[in-house]
Amino acid sequence: MISGSLHDASWLVTDRLVGASQGAFAFGNLAVHVGDDPDAVADNRTALAHRIGVPQVVFTRAAHSNRVVHVERIVADVPDSDGLLTDRPDLAIAAQGADCAMIGIATADGWIAAVHCGWQGLASGVVTSALAGMAAAGSRLDAPQAHVGPTICARCYPVDPDRAAQVAAVAPGAVVADDAGYAVDLRAGLADQFRELGVTATWDPRCTAESDELYSYRRDGRTGRQALTILRRSA
């Protein structure tokens, strides 16, 4: 696991090296929707919550959209959403991924967000939606900072021409074209959007498809999910 901070918020990125899951999901799977043993997932989630010192982590369940949800208390997984945001201290929120970008965002005025972003989220502006959601809920969006967790690299992310065109229409810097065809560079697309939105960012350089320590749907098909969780502490 790798951890760091954004303003007064702490983030942590999990991996697959330890945990209760077995087989294709070994070992640290945190997703309840991929076919893993529910008891193993519960154990993994409990271990994560204990590690960061909270009773429970609130997870978004990706819909490959730009929908974000404001949460104010511990709830079950939030379905059909790709981002969670809150200003409540000691409330840990998390985005899952197995190739898509997992993003933690924090502002200087006490708001945080956990965002899942694949090519559809990039094209539909899920990061913009997260910042807009913070502003609508009362944030001044002071000095937004982001950390982007491990993400599939362009070399491992070939796409068909139609998908490339959809991404290029919104994020032209994210599309790579050569004699082999097209690919999507999520990091490049996010970097462009961060600049436009005034977000400063740090990056995990690991490619999910190239690292055996991480889950990758593109590489393995049936697999688990790692997560990026973020929270602000009350003291």
- The pTM assigned to this predicted structure is 0.95
Q: What is the pLDDT of residues 1-56, one digit of tens each?
A: 899 999 999 999 999 999 999 999 999 999 999 999 999 999 999 999 999 999 99
pLDDT tens digits, residue range 170-222?
999 999 998 889 999 999 999 999 999 999 999 999 999 999 999 999 999 99
Q: Chain-wide mean pLDDT for the chain? A: 96
pLDDT number for residue 180 = 84
Q: What is the dihedral of CA 190, 86, 95, 18, to 10 degrees?
A: 130
**C-alpha closest to that of 4 among 225, 204, 194:** 204
pLDDT value at position 90?
Answer: 97
Residue 109 CB burial class (10 angstroms; 0-12, 13-18, ≥19): middle
Mean pLDDT of 126-150: 97
Sorted by where each starts, the structural domains of the chain and their CATH numbers stand as 2-151+199-232 (3.60.140.10)
The mean per-residue pLDDT over the stretch 95-104 comes to 98
The whole-number pLDDT of residue 146 equals 98
Element (H, E) at 97: strand 92-97
pLDDT above 80 (res 229): yes
DSSP-derived 3-state class of residue 205? coil
> In angstroms, how far apart are the furthest CA atoms of the chain?
55
Tens of pLDDT, residue by residue over 43-68, are 999 999 999 999 999 999 889 999 99
What is residue 178's predicted lDDT score, i.e. its pLDDT?
A: 86
Decide: helix, strand or coil at residue 26: coil
Q: What is the SS3 string spanning 103-161?
A: EEEECCCCCEEEEEECHHHHHHCHHHHHHHHHHHHCCCCCCCEEEECCCCCHHHCEECH
pLDDT at 235 over 90: no
